[in-house]
Structure 1
Amino acid sequence: MSANIRDRRRRNRSRAKFGNPELAELSDDELLDLRFCDLGLCIHEAPLQERIDQLYRELEAKRLDFRPHFWLSQEWFTPDGVPGVAIPFYLADSRLMKLEERQMLEVEGGTTDWCMRILRHEAGHAIDNAYRLRRRQCYRKTFGNVSAPYPDSYNPRPYSRSYVINIDLWYAQSHPVEDFAETFAVWLKPRSRWRQTYAGWPALRKLLFVNELMATIREEKPAVRTRRHEEPLRTLKMTLREHYDEKRRHYGLEASDAYDHELLRLFTKDNDNGQTSSAATFLRRARKRLRRDVSEWTGHYQYTIDQVLEDMIARCQKLNLRVDRNPEEVERDTLVVLTMHTMNHIQDEAHKVAL
């Protein structure tokens, strides 16, 4: 084996595992009993530091001197009045990323593209705070009443062209300051071709405004320069188990019989002494594919989709439903039903936002 190949494999192995090596030896139960303050994590671990450096290069390419500061916490957030960003703990450790996926079925910001979308969004909040942009009349005229109470949830309009699309779930529609942050993220992204992409959309006016506003603040110094950290990991006494219990409650759904009409069309109630397979078993086998496909289609969190599936499985058991058609055809039809109920949750149940 050549030296170049050995070096390449060594680099790949080093990228695969990062963070606190002591955590790699612990079981999931042992990890869940740890407190945040005892995780021993560092924000400068690769690949997280590489993505922060990429964000800095993107800001430099736009000739902006501003650089947000970062720290580790429970979740993504940018505190009001602070020109910095909290990043979720699991992105600093490969073992904790695996735990996050097992607990929530996905890792928010776990890929380079996903992480950069969120970093650009949060950088928008940070630069808003640094220059107190939301106090400017032109900002309010473009994005709306920033003094409106921040909602716990919102009902998006998926087909609206008045907002850009960066983070999933039409997040720009949740509040005027999120609208600004999403618009900033699209403007900042290298080679985004936002003028062509949003040509003819009302959202283009917002992008043009951000383009002009950023040209203005290049000549200004930030009004807020604090390097304060809020809710840093080292101060949090909550265990990971408590954290995930709370997080699952936030994204969970209550049991419902609202699926019965569609389930009775998908499956049969005929009992033929076991000659056909159980609908509940069928859904369990297709579960991973179904929730992944619906998540990619709707942008909704896999955990919530999985809760819908769990409820459907329970109803199939309760009604003693069975599969009496071609499995591929049934799975395709199930995908449509699952997508419909996911979208109903977004539209009618006031989808809960995460950032």
Structure 2
Amino acid sequence: MHDETIKVKSGLLKPRKRKPVWVSWPDDKLLDVRMCDLGVSIDGTPLERRISEVRKELSGRGIDFGPHFWLSDDWFTPDGVPGVGIPFYLAHPRLAKLEMNQMLEVEGSTKTWCLQILRHEVGHAIDNAFRLQRRHRRQKLFGKSSDNYPEYYTPRPYSKSFVLHLDSWYAQSHPDEDFAETFAVWLDPKADWQKRYADWPALKKLDYMHDLMHDIRRRQPVETTTRTVEPLSSIKKTLRQHYETKRAHYGIDRPDFYDRDLRRLFSDAAEFSNNQPAAKFLKRIRRDVR
């Protein structure tokens, strides 16, 4: 079967991408496909347009730096690499549906969410490209990159020493994440960070980021490798193996983990029927528990 063609505005013919054979398969069959055999790419997807938008934000700030992107099994920026790995499921709606069925969420599925994560990861990439971790002022404000990543961290929700960008007060998890989150807020054209953080100690970090990015506009990246780490085409495990590992890591197979405590807090006994329902209570305090 040959690729179909469609007419575009220019009047030229453009190949239409052939649908993968697994698009109509049920989850159980799709899970047995090796990740390297999925045959998806960033080209021609909403993901490509979102990457382009972030590139325009960089150029709009006068930063002549173009990180490279590739599909992998998760979001990440490898140490020393000025590029970003992006989860494969964002390259096709059928894979996004599978991710939802397996993990109960699709990280980066909406345009806003995807742009937030892209800006964050580009912060890591630009950190690597210019080796900014070595700068004394950067270490003084954010901490050292050599600090160990904790398996768990306990954020301080009301701290004003960190910007608020990704969920779970992620800037508080490690100095490198603090840097990437601060960069993401600085890069976002809608952030209005001077006003938003006017009375916060975090403003010092944003002001530093502004000066730092102005400085590197006149410099060429030190690290220019286009190396990729664990590209999708190299991952031989099946989707089933991938999700078994991922679900175990995040405890997805233990949905009753907090049920006992929640039932103590929100009893369904008749004597408490006039109490505020859990859903209404959570809606009322959602800003505090964000």
Per the shorter chain, which TM-score range?
0.7 to 0.9
1:159-200 residue CA offsets vs partner (Å, 9 max, x unmatched) = 111000111111000000100000000000013210000001
Unaligned runs of 5+ in 1: 1-6, 8-17, 269-321, 347-355
- Helix, strand or coil at the partner of 2:179: helix
Distance in 2 (alpha carbons) for counterparts of 1:65 and 1:335: 45
1:325 is matched with 273
1:267 is matched with 268
Residues 187 and 148 of structure 1, relative CA distance in 2, 3 Å threshold: same
Moved over 4 A (4+): 333-336
Give 2:277's aligned amino acid.
V
Per chain length, whose mean CA-contact separation is higher, i.e. which structure has more relative contact order (CA < 8 Å, sep 6+)?
2
Residues 110 and 205 of structure 1, relative CA distance in 2, 3 Å threshold: same
By how many angstroms is 1:248 displaced?
Answer: 1.5
- Report 1:90-239 matches (<5 A): 90-239=89-238
- Helix, strand or coil at the partner of 1:72: strand
Distance in 2 (alpha carbons) for counterparts of 1:193 and 1:88: 29
The percent of aligned pairs where both chains have the same amino acid is 52
- Computing the radius of gyration over CA atoms, which structure comes out larger, 1 or 2? 1
1:49-101 residue CA offsets vs partner (Å, 9 max, x unmatched) = 00010011000000000010000000000000000000000000111011111
CA RMSD of aligned residues (A): 2.7
Query: Residues 20 and 41 of structure 1 are in contact (CA less than 8 Å); yes or no, is this contact kept in structure 2?
Result: no
Query: Residues 19 and 41 of structure 1 are in contact (CA less than 8 Å); yes or no, is this contact kept in structure 2?
Result: no
State the number of aligned residues.
271
- Helix, strand or coil at the partner of 1:258: helix
Higher deviation after alignment, 113-122 or 36-45:
36-45
- Name the TM-score, length of structure 1 as normaliser: 0.71
Unaligned runs of 5+ in 2: 1-6, 8-16
Query: Residues 82 and 126 of structure 1 are in contact (CA less than 8 Å); yes or no, is this contact kept in structure 2?
Result: yes
Query: Residues 134 and 146 of structure 1 are in contact (CA less than 8 Å); yes or no, is this contact kept in structure 2?
Result: yes
Distance in 1 (alpha carbons) for counterparts of 2:57 and 2:47: 16
Give 1:200's aligned amino acid.
D
The structure where helix makes up a greater share of residues is 1
- Name the TM-score, length of structure 2 as normaliser: 0.86
- Report 1:268-287 matches (<5 A): 268=269
- Helix, strand or coil at the partner of 1:81: coil
- 1:76 equivalenced with 2:23 (yes/no): no
